[in-house]
Copies of this chain bind each other. A is one copy, B any other.
């Protein structure tokens, strides 16, 4: 079975890992958000792509949720001594990824080609695609003004109320090669990622939302909200500040026109009726993945929905 996962950071990466464990090689495509991408110290940083790659390569730091296991920080410490602003933590091994990416982008390679090279070097089996090779930058409107994504997320610890989002470059950004084809998979899954910060920028790329609406396969979304709270990150606050209900039902309303099946956590079983009333098939299960066995279990349930 061909499966495509639309993914942001940690939640998307974990489900990608589960699907990779559950599927035969070359069955899985992961289309990844690049709205969080930024440049630091002249290096091209793609946090969501790296979280997906590191998790699929089983090199990620599970406890922290980002970056590589067993990292050291000698370069960052030296950068600080050289007067650089080091609010964004970059490990020594992680920096190698950014150095390789930057060198290849500068010589003209597309981000999708660079990502494929890095994935191959790490022994990652699924096809990991940035949603676009073009510029796409999530900007966050807050009471303090419009912030770059990493300034909002890391620099200010996503403490600002989100009043709106702007996906700079989305109008002109074209899907990376393979992205639209991937949406024709037998199963398309929207990961339990932040609907606004991770999934929306994917859909904002020209033709992606339309391709998802028209997708011939089964389309399934997994709610990132469980028991009225985000599993990780600021999804709950953002739902609230943008006027949505902070629940799996609120998420289902956002995705109602895009998917066939809504997967909600067993703690939200009481919402199954209202979600079904939106015209969606509802699947109630334990959506908290935790380690690899939990990821694979959830993945197998999703595959059974196709």
- Is A72 at the interface (CB under 8 A from chain B)? yes
Which chain A residues numbered 72 to 115 have a C-beta less than 8 Å away from chain B?
72, 74-79, 81-84, 91-97, 99-100, 102-104, 106-107
Complex-state Cα separation, A97 to B77, whole angstroms: 11
- Is A118 at the interface (CB under 8 A from chain B)? yes
Q: Mark A32-51, 1 if CB is under 8 A from B, else 0.
A: 00000000011100000000
Q: Are A93 and B74 in contact (CB under 8 A)?
A: yes
Q: Among B42, B84, B96, point to the contact of A78 (Cβ < 8 A).
A: B96
When C-beta atoms are compared, the residue in chain B nearest to A103 turns out to be B42
Interface size classification for chain A: 20 to 34
- Is A135 at the interface (CB under 8 A from chain B)? no
Kindly list chain B residues whose C-beta atoms are within 8 Å of the C-beta of A72. 72, 74, 92
Q: Mark A103-140, 1 if CB is under 8 A from B, else 0.
A: 11011000000000110011000000000000000000
Complex-state Cα separation, A71 to B71, whole angstroms: 15
> Which of A75, A95, A97, A121 has the most C-beta atoms of chain B within 10 angstroms of its own C-beta?
A75
Complex-state Cα separation, A83 to B104, whole angstroms: 13
Kindly list chain B residues whose C-beta atoms are within 8 Å of the C-beta of A41. 99-100, 103
Q: Return 8 A-B CB contacts under 8 Å, by A number.
A: A72-B74, A74-B93, A75-B93, A76-B96, A79-B100, A95-B95, A95-B99, A99-B99
* Nearest 6 A/B pairs, CB to CB: A42-B103, A78-B96, A74-B92, A78-B93, A79-B96, A82-B121
Interface residues of A (CB under 8 A from B): 41-43, 71-72, 74-79, 81-84, 91-97, 99-100, 102-104, 106-107, 117-118, 121-122
Other A-B pairs beyond A76-B96, A79-B100, 13, CB < 8 Å: A41-B99, A41-B103, A42-B102, A42-B103, A72-B74, A75-B92, A75-B96, A77-B93, A79-B99, A81-B121, A82-B97, A82-B118, A83-B121
